Amino acid sequence: MTRKQMHIGLCLTGTWMNGQEPEPDALERHVADPLAQHIRLAQAAERAKLDFIFLPDTLGVMPRKGRSRPMPGLDVTLVMAGLARETSHVGLVTTASTTFNPPYVIARQMQTLHWLSNGRAGWNIVTSIEGAENFGSQPMPAPEERYRKAAEFTQAVKALWDSFPYEALTGEKPVTPAAHEGEFFSVAGPLNVPGHPAGSPPLFQAGASDAGRAFSASVADATFAAAPDMAAALDLRADLRARAEACGRNPDAIKVLPGLYFFLAQTREEAWAMHRRAHAHLTHEHRIESVRMILGADLSGHPLQTVITPDLLPEPDQPVRSRTHADLLRRYIERERPTLGQLLDRPEVVGSAHWVSVGTVEDVLADIISWHEAGAIDGVIALPGGSLDSCRLFLEELVPALAAKGLFRTDYAGKTLREHLAA
């Protein structure tokens, strides 16, 4: 058995509320103290010695399939700034879009969060797939353009970070212009926030399309991978490592961390009942519509026993909402030839294309170890499902069980996120 330790992050979104409307008193508590739940989870993650906590972001009020109430969304970087004061070791990975923000603003926000947290900030780089209507009248750019813009945006941010090195505070180095000129951005600089002694914030990226993989391999320290099964994870990790090497990078420099959407309970029966409740709001019609949105395929006239083959799908080059999800689901159909019933139960259809593990602590522990031993992952980003108790079992029982097997740390060796990821 390999003894290389894993990296684990915890997503702070309220995924345990899937399948049910929040209770009125829960909403009232959230409005009265919107940071309270985040603080409790962040501190619990730190007690478990996790590498980082993570917050995704959306730039609008997103529809929730089968549910009437929208989920409230605070500015995630401001939330992380609040959490920096309530924690001391766990990393703080926030999300910022390269499609709708200026590089100077993001460079300044990230470096400020880095100082507020004493070197624990991380930037999850996203190109966004929705929200253009909130930033003007222009339609959402095509994925290829968004990734070209993201690559240049990241170059500009790095140039701004380099323009005011920490050593300039002591006179050992000068402050210099960023002087970035490109297809999308012109940024003079320098940044007015100095670099931190811990170095620049680590970079995370989540795209698993071809363009997303190329971008991630060129810049990312870690990839928040969409990998609904081990075959997808093995393919993604091998491809990213090869691409990183082709970019002149050490392939070990990029950590592949699939989202792990878990449902933990004391018994398997309780865990599976929790999983069913979490998706009970998704009717047959919702799932058919989800397939249509992902692949552009209308399968509404087919019985559940119909074997779904690639010839039932549109051409793969047609525009889709998320190329990552479309490619993952298409590969699954090409590989497995599922029935329609099996297809409608897939993570890509009912969720966000993440790996789903359901059962007792021992069941999910064995699942994680099998993926790790197979070389499919460098760790996980945990997405709590079902209940707060499921999250508690993960942090208080499953993570210590990994540590007992030598697969996770028993204590922090450093205080910065870059140190956690390098360990």
Max intra-chain CA distance, the chain = 73
pLDDT at 386: 78
Q: What is the pLDDT of residue 177?
A: 97
Residue-wise pLDDT for 259-288, tens only, equals: 999 999 999 999 988 888 887 778 899 899
Write down the pLDDT at residue 20.
Answer: 43
Q: What is the pLDDT of residues 42-55, one digit of tens each?
A: 999 999 999 999 99
At residue 371, the pLDDT reads: 96
Residues 3, 234, 150, 139, CA torsion sign: negative
Amino acid at position 400, single letter: P
Would the pTM count as exceeding 0.75?
yes
* Per-residue pLDDT, 255: 96
CATH topology of domain 7-270+353-422: TIM Barrel (3.20.20)
State residue 277's pLDDT score.
Answer: 83
Question: Per residue in 315-337, pLDDT tens?
Answer: 887 776 667 778 878 888 998 99
Mention every residue, 6+ apart, whose C-beta is less than 8 A from residue 289. Answer: none
* Residue partners of 343: CB distance under 8 A and separation at least 6: 291, 299, 308, 329, 333, 349
Q: Are 400 and 29 in contact (CB under 8 A)?
A: no
Q: Provide the residue type at 122 as one letter.
A: G
Those residues of the chain that have pLDDT short of 70 are: 1-3, 14-32, 60-72, 320-322, 347, 351-352
Give me the phi and psi of 307, to 5 degrees please: -80, 125
